[in-house]
Structure formats: structure tokens, C-alpha cells
């Protein structure tokens, strides 16, 4: 398979980046507040204590002793060298990267090593189309939300599939850089953090739930709700949904339907 370098999803621009492959969202407490505090403290510690390769083991020991290392999924490693790589704390990235260390590449001391860190491309590079990738990059300007969304293939593909079906064509991602359409799409993707029917279970992330070293795909029990499988089922699973009643399910369907319809209506009514 060809190396997918058309859009660099890990570091697409100065406004955001993704650290999911480094285990960013694998901490049991992966709220924005917790991760932001963790990354800020870790980044400051790195700049205060690391002057060269010889300081890295001490830094690693300090991080693992100071931070809670409880995970959702034991198999995924949470890299202690992930931090903020800009002064504004808008981009997460590798503190060992040569761009952070005057050209010296220190990634060989990390758990995965330099070659894997440098050459790994997540499934989103392969399974999201180029216009889907570009649409997400254009819509989201926040590191925390961007990482959650760009790695959620089902959520992205389902959202834009419903929109494309309604329009009769794929939307132009260039129209999502600014303005009303960007706002409408961003409100939908904000459901990743604001969804009112989100399960409180900390061992769930998107459609997956974890049990130590095993992971499984969650399912919504529609029989218990006395209804058929929702056409938004994949979206609901991506949003870590739990419905206690058929009324909850119908309200959730209305929220998603309204969001998709708002995009379609504005796109049609304001052609370019």
C-alpha cells in the first residue's frame, strides 16, 4: 500500500494535531481537563529537566511516578514523551522529535522506537477518503476534539454519507473552512464531548469497550427498547451512547437528524 502523505493527519496545521496513536485517549481519565493538565505539566518538566539524551530516563521515571497511569486498555501504551509542542498549547506531539531538540532525534528511547513512530500511519489515512480527511481538518481547530474525531472513522463516514445522500453529491470541503457550514459541522462533531446520551462508563471509547487486555465492540439493545435498529446506529455507537428508553432514542435521532438537515439546507440554499 502506498504511503499516504497527501494530508498529514497527525500534524495538519498550527491550530491542532492528534496524539491518539501515542495513547493520548487511553488513560482512564481522558477528559479534556485531565489531559490538558497532564500534558502541560509534562511539557514543562521536559523543558526544565532534559538537557540531553542522558536525562531522558530520569524524566521518564518522574512522569510515571507523578501521573496516574490507569488505562482503559492495557495493550495500548501511553507514551510519556507526548506533550505540547507549541507555546500556545494548541498542538500535541512528540517531545523527542528532532524539531523539538535542535535537530537531534531522540525517539529511539521511546517504547515504540524511532522507526515505528516515524513510519506509522493510522487507519484513518487509509479508510477516510481525501475529501473526508480535508473536511475534518477544515472544520475542527481544537487538538482535543480533532484527535477524537479524525480517528473515529465510522462517525466521519456516516455523517458525510448522510449529507452526500441528501445533497446528491459529496460536499466541497473547501466550503467548510469558515462561515456557517463550518459552524454547523463543528456543532455535530462537538457531540463527541457534549452528547447527552453518553455512557458514563470509563472503559468505553466510541464503539469499543475494554476489559483489561481485551476489547469488544459495543451494541445497543434495540429489543430492550422495543424498536428496530436506528439508521443512526453507527453514529450512536461512535458517541458512546446508552439509551434507557425509547424516548431517549427518539430524542437522540432528532438531534442527529436536525444537525444533518441543517447542513444540507444551508449548503443547498447558499450555492457557490
Q: What is the pLDDT of residue 1?
A: 37
Residue 97 inside a domain? The answer is: yes
CA distance 163 to 144: 25
State residue 132's pLDDT score: 97
Residue 106 shares a structural domain with residue 194: no
Among 243, 98, 261, smallest CA distance to 185 is for 261
**DSSP annotation string for the chain:** -----SS-SSS-BTTB---GGGTGGGBS---HHHHHHHHHHHHHHHHHH-SSGGGHHHHHHHHHHHS---BS-TTS---TTEEE-STTS--EEETTSGGGTTT---GGGSSSHHHHHHH---HHHHHS-HHHHHHHHHH---HHHHHHHHT-HHHHHHHHHHHHHHHTS---GGGGSSHHHHHHHHHHHTHHHH-TTB---TTEETTEEEETTEEEE----TTTTTSPPPTTHHHHHHTTB--SSHHHHHHHHHHHHHHHHHHHHHHHHS--
Q: Do 157 and 263 sit in the same domain of this protein?
A: yes
Q: Which domain holds residue 172?
A: 153-269
Domain assignment of residue 129, yes or no:
no
Tell me what pLDDT residue 207 has: 75
What total number of domains does the chain contain? Answer: 2
pLDDT at 27: 92
> In the predicted model, what is the mean pLDDT of the chain?
91
pLDDT at 14 over 80: yes
Residue 76 lies in a domain: yes
Please list, residue by residue across 49-70, b when 16 or more beta carbons sit within 10 angstroms of its beta carbon and e when fewer do. Answer: ebeeeeebeebbeebeeebeee
pLDDT exceeds 60 at position 4: no
Same domain, 78 and 157: no
Position 105 scores a pLDDT of 82
Is residue 178 domain-shared with residue 116, that is, in the same domain? no
pLDDT of residue 2: 40
Q: For 239-260, what is the mean pLDDT?
A: 97
* pLDDT category of residue 262 using cuts at 50, 70 and 90: very high
User: Would the pLDDT of 140 be above 50?
Assistant: yes
pLDDT of amino acid 94: 93
Chain segment 160-214, per-residue pLDDT in tens: 999 999 999 999 999 999 999 999 999 999 999 999 999 887 677 777 666 666 6
Q: Are residues 111 and 181 in the same domain?
A: no
Amino acid at each position: 500500500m502506498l504511503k499516504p502523505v497527501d494530508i498529514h493527519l497527525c500534524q495538519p496545521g498550527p491550530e491542532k494535531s492528534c496524539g491518539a496513536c501515542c495513547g493520548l485517549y487511553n488513560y482512564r481519565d481522558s477528559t479534556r481537563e485531565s489531559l490538558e493538565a497532564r500534558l502541560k505539566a509534562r511539557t514543562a518538566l521536559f523543558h526544565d529537566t532534559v538537557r540531553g539524551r542522558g536525562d531522558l530516563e530520569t524524566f521518564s521515571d518522574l512522569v510515571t511516578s507523578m501521573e496516574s497511569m490507569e488505562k482503559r486498555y492495557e495493550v495500548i501504551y501511553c507514551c510519556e514523551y507526548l506533550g505540547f509542542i507549541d507555546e500556545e498549547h494548541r498542538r500535541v506531539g512528540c517531545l523527542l522529535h528532532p524539531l523539538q531538540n535542535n535537530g537531534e532525534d531522540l525517539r529511539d528511547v521511546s517504547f515504540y522506537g524511532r522507526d515505528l513512530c516515524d513510519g506509522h500511519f493510522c487507519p484513518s489515512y487509509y479508510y477516510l477518503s481525501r475529501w473526508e480527511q480535508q473536511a475534518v481538518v477544515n472544520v475542527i481547530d481544537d487538538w482535543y476534539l480533532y484527535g477524537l474525531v479524525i480517528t473515529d472513522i465510522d462517525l466521519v463516514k456516516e455523517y458525510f454519507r448522510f449529507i452526500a445522500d441528501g445533497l446528491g453529491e459529496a460536499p466541497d470541503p473547501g466550503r467548510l473552512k469558515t462561515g456557517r457550514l463550518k459552524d454547523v459541522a463543528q456543532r455535530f462533531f462537538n457531540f463527541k464531548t457534549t452528547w447527552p446520551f453518553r455512557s458514563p462508563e470509563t472503559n468505553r471509547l466510541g464503539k469499543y469497550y475494554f476489559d483489561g487486555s481485551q476489547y469488544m465492540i459495543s451494541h445497543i439493545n434495540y429489543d430492550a427498547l422495543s424498536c428496530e435498529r436506528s439508521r443512526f446506529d453507527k453514529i450512536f455507537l461512535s458517541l458512546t451512547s446508552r439509551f434507557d428508553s425509547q424516548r431517549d432514542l427518539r430524542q437522540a435521532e432528532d438531534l442527529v437528524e436536525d444537525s444533518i438537515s441543517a447542513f444540507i439546507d444551508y449548503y443547498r440554499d447558499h450555492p457557490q
